[in-house]
Structure formats: C-alpha cells, structure tokens
Amino acid sequence: MLTPYYECKELLLVYFGESRTNNLVSSAVAGIFASCFSLPFDNMKTKLQRMKMDQHGNFPYKGIFDCCWKTLKNEGPFKFLVGLPTFYFRVAPHAMITLLVSDYLKTQLIAK
C-alpha cells in the first residue's frame, strides 16, 4: 500500500503539485492496489469458511493451497477477483484514511 501511494504521488506532482488533491488521488490508487492484492486471499478464506461436507463426509478443500489450486484449475484466474468493486469500496476508505493521516502527521512532526 505504501509503495503505490508514494510512486503515484511522485508521478502526479507534475499535475497537482504538493497538494491535498495529489494525496487524495494517490491514496485512492493505493486503495486499488490494496484491494487487488488482498481480495484473492479474502476469497479463498471465504470459500474455506463456507465449505460444507458432501454426501460422503468429505470437505471440498483440504486447505488454502488446495482451495487456490482448485479455483484456478476449475474456475480460472479471474475468479480470484470476484467482487472487486464492492471490496474496493470496503477496503479503500481504510487505506485512504490511513495514508492521509500518516502524511498529515508526518508533515506536522517535521514542521515542529
């Protein structure tokens, strides 16, 4: 989350300069990265939590790696990102607030 934030902030200096707009847009982009990288793990966790035994008493997955492999094999790689827009609106505000408060505190501490 930090690397995309600072890289985007650096790239947007040309357009916005050192401004709150730059910080806000950069933190939104960092939220996109945070969502894209954490959603596959969240989807696997949810599949493991919701799995039910079949008629023979076996669970469909043996663990996180088995769940990941079977999802990739049977459903394809895009199944890992199901629900991305909803997940973004859940995760991005947290990422944005964290990064904006961090930047604000850093400027306040350096200024004093």
Separation CA 77–CA 60 (nearest Å): 19
Domain 2-111 part of CATH 3.30.70.1150: no
Q: How many CB atoms lie within 10 A of CB 88?
A: 18
39, with CB counted inside 10 A (0-12, 13-18, 19+), is: buried
User: CA angle at residue 58 from 55 to 59, to 5 degrees?
Assistant: 115
pLDDT of residue 112: 61
Backbone angles phi, psi at 83, to 5 degrees: 85, 20
Per-residue model confidence as pLDDT tens digits over 24-82? 999 999 999 999 999 999 999 999 999 999 999 999 999 999 999 999 999 999 999 99
Report the predicted TM-score, pTM, of the whole model to 2 decimal places.
Answer: 0.81
pLDDT in tens, 93-104: 999 999 999 999
Question: At 64, phi and psi to the nearest 5?
Answer: -65, -40
